[in-house]
Amino acid sequence: MADGKTTMYHALKPLFQPANVAVIGASNTQGKQGNTAIRYLRRCGYPGGIFPVNPAGGEIEGLKCHASIAEIPEKIDCALIVIPAGPAVEAVRGCAEAGVGAVIIGAAGFAELDSDEGRRRQDDVVAIAAEHGLRILGPNTNGIFNAHHKLSLGYNNSHGDALTPGPVSIAAHSGALFNSIAPRLRSLRAGLSKFVPVGNEADLDMLDFLEYFIEDPDTEVIGLIIEALSDGARLRGLAARARNADKPIVALKLGRSAAGAGAAAAHSSRLAGSARAYDALFLECGIASVPTVEAMAGAAALLMNRADQAFPGNNALIGISTTGGGAALLADHAEARGIPLAGNAAGQWEGRVAETIASFDGAGQIRNPTDVPSLGGNERLSELFEAQEKDGYSGPLALFTHLVPTLEGSHDVAARIIERHRRTRTPAIAIAPGGLTEEIEAGYRDAGIPFFTDLAAAFDALSAYYQAYPAAGAAVAPKLDAGLSAGLEDAKEQLAAAAGRQFLTEVESADLLRGLGLPMVECRIIDGMASAGEAAEELGYPVVLKALAPDVTHKNRLGFVIAGITGDIELAEAVVTMEGRIAGLDYSATEVPLIMQPMAKGAAEIILGASFEPGLGHFLIAGLGGVYTEILDEAVLIPVPAAAEVIEKRLAVTRIGRLIASIGPVQPVIDTLAALSQLVADNPDTIAAVDINPMLLDESGATAVDALIVLAS
């Protein structure tokens, strides 16, 4: 990161705006990276000095070649190193000693090898950079691109394409995707400003470039192509800065599987998974998430030029189609992504729109999305738009179209869509899976209406617009419940006393959570049949008998839970059975205490908890619970810390939240999650996960039956 006195924009000026660059490993052999990079620099019109470096000297591409970086008479701001990993380390040292400001290491062979030698090389270049104040992009990157300063310093194919400066800046963990997204952006009239493949992130990481883009005056929309992030808290802070700067962020998460989660001790950790955690963090940050490169390019095209866009109070979608089937597809894709359609729930119009429709003699049934032929004439499309706008419906528009029987008709529809777009200044997209004429397609693009041939990509892009608009407001700061203060202090002491252990037992976990005011079921520790009978009499039948083995987190799998015990005879049999199971697994009776709980009932079982996702932090989790938690695999995640108001809002729009609300009061669930948020936020380095599973719900409230707190190793 830049220090407090130097902004990231100024700290990275040698990288993005170098006056002179060197290519270490320059070559006269076409096809080699050291030759390609020089040719691309010259092709893009880079105005600064280009200095090839190769021990052989001579000339390369008509430029004087220097034997080493030290021999170059000019100050070099940025050097691209395209030699093998071994000598690249010494080349970095030479750059540092020569006062170079930034180095791009194109070579692979560093930490990505997951070998001792690769890690040592990367550690060496990091140490050199830290000693000399040198900034490093990579290793294992393919260059950098800054269209506004005519810098195309790299060897990816797209580094050699014609420069079309635009407002979109992207940092990516996959440099090869440059070739995919740059042409797509150009086709949508949304050119690149910057593209940075971050490589191994030995020094500069993706969040450093996000910070740079926020400060960069040539960037309007920010794209992040992410494999994994290292600092969720920093992302949240930078996302807030981006919102304040009115620079929407669009993220494409690569590798959405949660491999390895099945080995976790807590159900909550398996439910979390990388993909869900990232989605929850993006939602909290107001970052739009897309599933494909095509959708990222489309989202950028919709979100650019925000200063010229209008943001109506009613942002519901207007759907227009030149075919009835297309209208149905528009409705289906909007519903699948939760995009609101203008009109009532049935798609019918009311108010002035309905009055205008009633005046259309000979018209068919007109809903939203609207089938243009049902209007009885293209001219009525403009009348419909006028009535919609008078009723406050001037939000985004999606057009599904094809070449109608007369070319004049296709031009006419396009003209009316374009005129509405210019008048409302709200986003519009045109979708024609079969394509249109080159002239009509260009007309849409030139008017600032992104043109798609893929319906799903179009709606994924539109969904990203809705995710980013309106930009999420400032995060609600969690407020500490005064009643939790004492419980949090006690919890800290209990966790400290358990240092070195893997988890707290069920009894310990329940006691800790009960101290925070959570509705934990009563529990008795028993010693043989005599105390079992006394406990059952106090608790009242039916009861549940459990065995707490010291290294077992999920008791059901070993038969260490016997439920539904209704009387003394059943209880005696259960105790004997449990003692036999304990002995059969080579435990001693003193190692495995028995506990008894009343047999709680509820209309539904849910799991509440918290989990830690490496690089991102802790998340609250609410999901379907019981023994089928992972099979049902239904959960919502909320980043910690989370205020009760945020928890309530997130739950309300999920199936889990609607299930809870249909059974009984939601407040006990909100209060439980808010308490867990405070517990985890207060002990981030101590708690790895918390499970309350199941929590039973009915019309009277909630009761937590089982609990597990997993400690951080």
Mean pLDDT across the chain: 91
Position 43 confidence tier, pLDDT thresholds 50, 70, 90: very high
469 has a pLDDT exceeding 90: no
542-587 tens-digit pLDDT: 999 999 887 777 788 889 999 999 999 999 999 999 999 999 988 8
Helix (H) or strand (E) holding 274: helix 267-285
Cis check for the bond before 684: say yes or no (omega within 30 of 0): no
Q: What is the pLDDT of residue 453?
A: 96
The three-state (H, E, C) secondary structure of 347-414, written as one string:
CCCCHHHHHHHHCCCCCCCCCCCEEHHHHCCCHHHHHHHHHHHHCCCCCCEEEECCCCCCHHHHHHHH
- 508 CB-near residues (< 8 Å, 6+ apart): 494, 498, 709
Task: Give the span between the Cα atoms of 273 and 263, in whole angstroms.
Answer: 12
Position 710 confidence tier, pLDDT thresholds 50, 70, 90: very high
What is the rounded end-to-end Cα distance, in angstroms, of the chain? Answer: 28
245 has a pLDDT exceeding 70: yes
Q: What CATH number does the domain located at 604-711 have?
A: 3.30.470.20
Position 529 confidence tier, pLDDT thresholds 50, 70, 90: confident
472 has a pLDDT exceeding 70: no
Task: Give the span between the Cα atoms of 278 and 388, in whole angstroms.
Answer: 38
Over pLDDT 90: what percentage of the chain? Answer: 77
- 712: number of Cβ within 10 Å: 13
Provide the token pair at 393.
Answer: 């419906």
363 has a pLDDT exceeding 80: no
Q: Which fold does the domain 8-257+265-302 belong to in CATH?
A: Rossmann fold (3.40.50)
Position 255 confidence tier, pLDDT thresholds 50, 70, 90: confident
Q: What is the pLDDT of residue 482?
A: 62
248 has a pLDDT exceeding 70: yes
Provide the token pair at 372.
Answer: 């243009």
For the chain, the domains span: 8-257+265-302, 310-468, 522-599, 604-711
Cis check for the bond before 668: say yes or no (omega within 30 of 0): no
Kindly report whether the global pTM for this prediction surpasses the value 0.85. Answer: yes
Q: What is the pLDDT of residue 6?
A: 73
Do residues 318 and 391 lie in contact, with contact meaning Cβ atoms separated by under 8 Å? no
478 has a pLDDT exceeding 90: no
Task: Assess if CATH 3.40.50.261 describes domain 310-468.
Answer: yes
Would 310-468 and 522-599 be classified into the same CATH topology? no
390 has a pLDDT exceeding 50: yes
Over pLDDT 70: what percentage of the chain? Answer: 94
Do residues 459 and 339 lie in contact, with contact meaning Cβ atoms separated by under 8 Å? yes
20 has a pLDDT exceeding 90: yes
Position 260 confidence tier, pLDDT thresholds 50, 70, 90: very low
Q: Are strands 168-172 and 192-197 parallel, antiparallel or unpaired?
A: parallel
163-195 tens-digit pLDDT: 789 999 999 999 889 999 999 999 999 999 999
Residues forming beta bridges with residue 610, ordered by sequence position = 620, 690
Task: Give the span between the Cα atoms of 686 and 621, in whole angstroms.
Answer: 18
Provide the token pair at 498.
Answer: 């358990």
Q: Among 51, 60, 111, which Cα is nearest to 80's? A: 51
Q: What is the pLDDT of residue 11?
A: 95
665 has a pLDDT exceeding 70: yes
Higher pLDDT, 479 or 169: 169
Kindly list the distances between the CA atom of residue 221 and the CA atoms of 96, 427, 464, 524, in Å, as whole numbers in the listed order.
33, 15, 12, 59
Q: Among 112, 134, 259, 319, which Cα is nearest to 197's? A: 112
Which homologous superfamily is 522-599 in?
A: ATP-grasp fold, A domain (3.30.1490.20)
Do residues 226 and 483 lie in contact, with contact meaning Cβ atoms separated by under 8 Å? no
> What mean pLDDT is predicted for residues 54-67?
96
Provide the token pair at 275.
Answer: 């993909």
Helix (H) or strand (E) holding 637: strand 635-639
